[in-house]
Structure formats: C-alpha cells, structure tokens
C-alpha cells in the first residue's frame, strides 16, 4: 500500500486564498481524518487531491504524488454525504453503474429518466428499467456476483432489486458504501459520509466502513470529533485563513475504537473545545 503525499498545495478562489504551503501525507492503508470549521477548506482540499479542482476564478498549485511512482488517475473512489443514488435504478444497478459506464459505449442520456412521450417503457413498469438500460448485459457475470457479495457484506442482499426510494437513510448510505467497495480503489476520499445519519446508525456504519475498507488509504472529512477519534490513525485539524494543518493526533488502540475508551472521551473534549474556540474567532 502506497502513501499519498500532498506537497506545498495552494488553492484560491479569486483573491480568497483558502490554503497555501499545505503539506499532508496520507499513510498507505491507514485512515486520515480531517476536522475543521465550516468553510475552512476541507472539501476544497479533498477535491484538489482528487484532481477535481477546476472552475472559473480557481487557481491551484503544488503536487499530489503517490509514493509508488504511479499516477493517482483511476485509483480514487469518492463517497459523499449525499448518497447520490440514481432514483430510477435498483440497488444492484446503482452499484454496478460504474462498471457499466466504463465497460461499454454507454449513452449518458440513459442516466436520465425518459420522458413520458418517449418510446422507451416507463421505469415504473416491472423490469422496464432493465430493458431500458442497454448495457446492463455488459456487466460480466463475475462482477454481478461480486456486487451480490458486497451487498451481503453491507447486509442488503435482500434489497438488491429495490429502488432507493424504498430504503431508509442508513440503508441508502450502505448502498453508497457498497458502490465505493465495488469500485475497488486503493484511495478512498470520504466527505462527511455519515453526517446525515442518526447517532446509532452512524456508529454502526463507522464500524462497517472500518471493517470493509481495511487496508485502503482513506481520507475522511468529518465535523464529528468522536467519529475521527473512533476511525482515524491520524487526525488533523484544518484551521485559519489561509488554512493550516495542526500536528496530527494519533489516538491509542486500533480502529474502530470503543466508546468506553476513557482517553478517547478526553481527546473528544479537547477537540470540541478547539473547534468551539475556532468558531469564536472566525
């Protein structure tokens, strides 16, 4: 597993410098967590690492280098707070979509719901969507088997034919996790993936993600110090303007750490105080 090194990174929107001279190493096979107040630049940093920083008025510099000498292209999976499931595709079609898009001459218009006037069968009709999804058959059978295995791992194999609208928020986020696993990428960038969930579902998903993403290199953005402390090998606090990173906190023990760990609770108090003070000064 390779380290990913962000060297001397800078990013600005017009005159507003979000960060500059920023250095960060994501240890291979480990979880790095990033805390910080709203608007400090966490998502901007994630997007910079993913190579998604483009747009009018945006300037960037610095480098993101894999220590194994290869490019990061095609080696990143992304998981966001919104599950981004396509509502007219079943669970299994959603998690195999990436394979289908890459494995065929797929027409992007097929991602969008057909109009009523269209000659294509409405998606609500039984099996309509499958016949409407032309490259469905191009997902190799072994990939369908793998998708089913992953759905088993996230506890949703019985929901594989359901539409997202029939799932709870926690179940939908488990589908999003399954889609991330299906991508099978060594670097996983997560932008508050559990932020919208209730406390118990969030704890359960933290445990599941920790188990299933073992040995991947993960960068997790979260607003929740406890989440960072349960999952992170290294925890950084991004603060100020331009933003800088604090020294890493390395909580004791292996993730996912237990809530009964008293050291974790005291570190949580410290981090909450830091975040609160940061809010007072911004």
**Smallest distance from ligand ATP to CB 16, Å:** 6
- Taking the C-alpha atoms of residue 73 and residue 61, their distance in angstroms, rounded to an integer, is 18
Vertex 121: Cα angle to 117 and 126 (nearest 5) = 145
Regarding 41 and contact with ligand ATP (CB under 6 A), the answer is yes
**Residue among 40 and 97 whose Cβ is closer to ligand ATP:** 40
Q: How many residues bind ligand ATP (CB under 6 A)?
A: 11
Q: 């499958």: which residue's tokens?
A: 130
Phi-psi region of 39 (alpha: psi -120 to 50; beta: other; left: phi over 0): left
Contact 207, 256 (CB under 8 A): yes
Contact 187, 77 (CB under 8 A): yes
Q: Which two tokens stand for residue 278?
A: 């940061």
**Residue among 55 and 141 whose Cβ is closer to ligand ATP:** 55
**Residue among 49 and 163 whose Cβ is closer to ligand ATP:** 49
Q: What are phi and psi of 174, to 5 degrees?
A: -70, -35
Regarding 237 and contact with ligand ATP (CB under 6 A), the answer is no
Region 1-20 residues binding ligand ATP, contact defined as CB under 6 A = 13, 18
**Residue among 43 and 94 whose Cβ is closer to ligand ATP:** 43
Q: 């998981």: which residue's tokens?
A: 79
Helix axes 199-212, 169-183, angle to 10 degrees: 10
- Of 35-43, 61-69, 175-183, 197-205, the window that binds ligand ATP (rule: CB under 6 A) is 35-43
Regarding 39 and contact with ligand ATP (CB under 6 A), the answer is yes
**Smallest distance from ligand ATP to CB 238, Å:** 7
- Taking the C-alpha atoms of residue 133 and residue 84, their distance in angstroms, rounded to an integer, is 18
Q: Which of 231, 159, 154, 147 is nearest to 190 (CA)?
A: 231
Regarding 36 and contact with ligand ATP (CB under 6 A), the answer is yes
Binder of ligand ATP out of 15, 55, 107, 109 (CB under 6 A): 55
Regarding 193 and contact with ligand ATP (CB under 6 A), the answer is no
**Residue among 15 and 260 whose Cβ is closer to ligand ATP:** 15
Q: Which residues bind ligand ATP (CB under 6 A)?
A: 13, 18, 36, 38-44, 55
């Amino acid at each position: 597993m390779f380290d990913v090194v962000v060297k001397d990174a800078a990013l600005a929107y017009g005159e507003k410098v979000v960060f500059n001279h920023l250095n960060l190493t994501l240890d291979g096979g480990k979880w790095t967590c990033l805390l910080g107040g709203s608007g400090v630049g966490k998502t901007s940093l994630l997007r910079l690492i993913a190579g998604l920083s483009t747009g009018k008025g945006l300037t960037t510099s610095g480098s993101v280098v894999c220590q194994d000498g290869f490019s990061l292209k095609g080696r990143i999976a992304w998981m966001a707070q919104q599950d981004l499931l396509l509502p007219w595709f079943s669970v299994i079609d959603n998690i195999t979509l990436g394979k289908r898009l890459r494995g065929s001459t797929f027409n992007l218009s097929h991602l969008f719901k057909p109009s009523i006037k269209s000659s294509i069968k409405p998606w609500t009709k039984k099996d309509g969507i499958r016949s409407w999804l032309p490259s469905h058959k191009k997902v190799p059978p072994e990939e369908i088997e793998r998708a089913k295995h992953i759905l088993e791992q996230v506890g949703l194999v019985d929901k594989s034919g359901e539409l997202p609208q029939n799932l709870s928020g926690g179940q939908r986020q488990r589908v999003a996790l399954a889609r991330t696993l299906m991508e099978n990428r060594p670097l996983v960038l997560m932008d508050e993936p559990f932020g919208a969930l209730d406390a118990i579902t969030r704890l359960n998903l933290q445990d599941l993600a920790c188990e299933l993403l073992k040995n991947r290199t993960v960068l997790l953005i979260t607003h929740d110090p406890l989440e960072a402390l349960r999952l992170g090998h290294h925890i950084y606090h991004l603060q100020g303007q331009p933003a800088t990173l604090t020294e890493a906190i390395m909580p004791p023990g292996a993730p996912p750490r237990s809530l009964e760990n008293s050291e974790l609770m005291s570190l949580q108090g410290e981090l909450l105080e830091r975040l609160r003070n940061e809010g007072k000064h911004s």
